Amino acid sequence: MQRKRPKTFKKPVKKEIKPLIESEDIKTKITKVRIIGIGGGGGTIVSEIAYKMPRASFVVANTDAQALKTASQKSSRFHFGQSLTRGLGTGMNPELGMQAALIEKDKIKKLLEGQDLCIFVACLGGGTGSGAVPIFAKIAKSLGNLTYGIFTLPFKFEGERKMEIARESLKKVKNHLNALSVIPNERAFQLIDKSTPLRQALSTVNKALTESLTGLIETIYEPGLINIDFADFRTILEGKGRLAYLNTAEVEIKKDSAKNLIVKALNSPLYPYGIKGAKGVLFNIAGEKELSLAEVNEISKTISELVNPEAKIIFGISQGKKYSGILKTTLLVTGCSMKIFSSEDKGKAPKKIKKPPVFRVKETAPEKPKEQQNKKSGANKKTNKKARPKKKKTIKKAKEEIVQESLPEKNLNLFEAIADERVRKNALQVKRDVEETEAEMLAKERIWETPTFLRRKMEK
C-alpha cells in the first residue's frame, strides 16, 4: 500500500507589510484639507477665506464663468457644465446644476482625490450650488475623504421656491457628508436691522462663516501646546449627516474673559440650534503665554457639562504672540440635537417653531481675597456677606449653571421649513439636567478632577 505522502507545506513567502503611511511620509504627512465653494454665494465665501489662509487649498466652482472671474487669486477656479449652461448660471435650476456636475464627474474626482477632508460651502436656493453639491459630496465620499458641508438657507423674502430648492438639496447631500452646518441667512437679522442693505446682510453671514472656518483651519494646522491633530478631527466628524455647530469666538483679556468667551462661543446668533446633547466636541483655546489653568478649566468644564455625558470631547491649546491680549476659541460640535429635515412636510401647515437656546454662564460669587477671609475682622464680615456663595451650590461650587433663554420667535420663521424638532428647555428643566449631570460627574469624579487636556496626556 502506498503510503500517503505527508503534506508538504510551502515555505511561506515573506510578504512585505506595507505601513499605512510610507516611512518617508511619516515625517512629512501633512493633513490635506480642501475647501470647495460651489455656486455664486459659496464661491464668494471661499474666496474670502482664501485671502486669509495660506494653509488649506481652495477651489471655487461654478457654471457661471463671469462669477468665477471675481474669485480670489488664491483659489483654483473650476468651471463646469459649459456645454449645458454656455458659461452662465443655471437660472435657479438645480436639475441643470446637477447635470452640469455629472457630466464633469471625472474632473471633479481629480479635484477631490488625495484629500483628507473636503469642506463644501454652498449658499442653497440657487441652481448651481444646490444642484451640484450633492454630486461633489458623493464623489468626495466615494474617494474615502471625510466630508463636511457648510450651507446657508435663503432669506424668507426670496420666496418659498428657493427654500424648496434648498430643502431638496439638503436631503440629497446629507448622506454623503459626515457632518453639516446649516445657517439661515435670515439669522443675519439677529446682528443687523432689517433696513440694512442686502449686500451688508450677506456679508455679515459671510464674515461669521469665514471667521469660523478660518479658526477651524488654524486648529488643524497650527501646532499647539496640546495639539489637535487630524485623527482628532476624524473622531469628531465621523458619522453620517450629523448636524454640526462651528463657531469661533474671541474676547479681550480682562476680568472674566474665560467666562465671556464661553458665552460668546456658545451663542452664535447665526445658528438656530445649540450644542446641548451633542455627541462630539472639539475645541481649541488660543491665548497668550499667561493663559491660566483656571481659565482653561472653566471653559472645558462648561462645555462638557452641556453636551451628552457620553460625548467625545477633544481639547487643544495654542499659545503665541499673535494672541497677545486676547483669548480665542474655535468650537466644532457634532450630533447637535435637532432634526433638520422635516418628515415629508410638503404642503403641511408649518409647525410652530420653538425658540433656540441661549447659553449663559450665571454669575458666580467672586472669590474672597485672603485678607477678607480673616473672620476676626468685623468690617470684612459685613462686606463678605453678599459675596459668600451658598453652601450647597452646584458641584464643588465650581460648575456654572447654564440658563437657557428665548430669542425672538419671529427670526426663526425661515428655518421652520426644514425644522421638525427642536430641543427646548426652560431654566428649571435645564437646572434639573445640570443636576443629573452633576450626579454622574460625581461618580466619575476621580477622572473629572483632572482637566480634560491633562487626562488626554495621562492616557497616552
Ligand X SMILES: Nc1nc2c(ncn2[C@@H]2O[C@H](COP(=O)(O)OP(=O)(O)OP(=O)(O)O)[C@@H](O)[C@H]2O)c(=O)[nH]1
Dist CA 140 CA 114 (whole Å): 10
**Residue from the set 47, 72, 99, 128 that interacts with ligand X by CB under 6 A:** 128
Q: Is 215 in the site for Mg ion (CB under 5 A)?
A: no
**336 conformational bin, left if phi > 0, alpha if psi -120 to 50, beta if neither:** beta
Handedness of CA 235, 36, 171, 212 (dihedral sign): positive
Long-range contacts of 249-257 (CB under 8 A, 24+ apart): 249/328, 249/329, 249/331, 250/326, 250/327, 250/328, 250/329, 251/326, 251/327, 251/328, 252/325, 252/326, 252/327, 253/287, 253/288, 253/325, 253/326, 253/327, 257/295, 257/327
**Which residues between 114 and 153 bind Mg ion (CB under 5 A)?**
128
Candidate segments 59-67, 92-100, 337-345, 399-407, binder of Mg ion by CB under 5 A: 59-67
d(CA 417, CA 413): 8
For 178, the 3-state DSSP assignment is coil
Q: Which residues pair with 183 in a beta bridge?
A: 152
Binding-site member from 125, 316, 357, 451 for ligand X (CB under 6 A): 125
Quick check: 287 binds ligand X (CB under 6 A)?
no
267 binds ligand X (CB under 6 A): no
Select 40 or 451, whichever has its Cβ closest to ligand X: 40
Residue with smaller CB distance to Mg ion, 40 or 94: 40
224 binds ligand X (CB under 6 A): no
Interface region with Mg ion, contact rule CB under 5 A, candidates 7-15, 21-29, 57-65, 160-168 = 57-65
Tell me which DSSP letter residue 269 carries.
T
Residue pair 97/135 in contact by the 8 Å Cβ criterion: no
Q: Which range binds ligand X by CB under 6 A, 125-133, 226-234, 277-285, 326-334?
A: 125-133
Q: Which of 113, 158, 421, 438 binds ligand X (CB under 6 A)?
A: 158
- Which residues, in sequence order, are CB contacts of 314 under 8 Å at separation 6+? 228, 232, 235, 236, 281, 282, 283, 456
Is 40 or 272 the residue whose CB approaches Mg ion more closely? 40
Within residues 20-49, the interface with Mg ion by CB under 5 A covers: 40
* Only segment of 122-130, 225-233, 370-378, 434-442 that touches ligand X (CB under 6 A): 122-130
- Residue 64 binding Mg ion, by CB under 5 A: yes
Q: How far is the CB of 197 from ligand X (least distance, A)?
A: 13
State the pairing for strand pair 326-334/280-287.
Answer: antiparallel
DSSP 357-393: P-EEEPP-PPPPPGGGG-TT-HHHHHHHHHHSPPTT-
Give the sign of the dihedral formed by CA 383, CA 386, CA 391, CA 393.
Answer: negative
Q: What stretch of H or E contains 151?
A: strand 146-153
Binder to ligand X among 202, 261, 314, 327 (CB under 6 A)?
A: 202
Nearer of residues 80 and 323 to ligand X, judged by Cβ: 80
Per CB under 6 A, the list member of 145, 147, 178, 206 interacting with ligand X is 206
Cell 478631527, residue? Answer: 233
By CB under 6 A, is residue 210 in contact with ligand X?
A: no
Using the contact rule CB under 6 A, the part of the chain among 153-161, 189-197, 388-396, 422-430 near ligand X is 153-161
Minimum separation from the CB atom of position 134 to Mg ion (A)? 17
- β-pairing verdict for 242-252 and 179-184: parallel
Stretch that binds ligand X, among 134-142, 152-160, 247-255, 440-448 (CB under 6 A): 152-160
C-alpha cell of residue 370: 485672603
89 contacts Mg ion (rule: CB under 5 A): yes
Return the residue of 56, 59, 77, 129 that touches ligand X, per CB under 6 A.
Answer: 129
Residue in 186, 176, 74, 178 with CA at minimum distance from that of residue 124: 186
| CA–CA separation, 61 and 63 (whole Å) | 7
CB nearer to Mg ion: pick between 132 and 266 = 132
Taking the C-alpha atoms of residue 97 and residue 132, their distance in angstroms, rounded to an integer, is 5
185 binds ligand X (CB under 6 A): yes
**C-alpha cell at position 338:** 435637532
Query: Which among 200-208, 225-233, 264-272, 366-374 is the span making contact with ligand X, rule CB under 6 A?
Result: 200-208
CB neighbourhood size of 29 (10 A): 12
Identify which of residues 63 and 300 has a Cβ nearer to ligand X in the complex. 63
Residue of 41, 272, 274, 287 interacting with ligand X (CB under 6 A): 41
Residue 41 near which of Mg ion, ligand X, none (CB within 5-8 Å, type-dependent) = ligand X
Smallest gap from residue 153 Cβ to ligand X (A) = 7
Binding site for Mg ion (CB under 5 A): 40, 64, 89, 128
Binding site for ligand X (CB under 6 A): 39-41, 44, 89-92, 97, 123, 125-129, 152, 154-155, 158, 162, 185, 202, 205-206
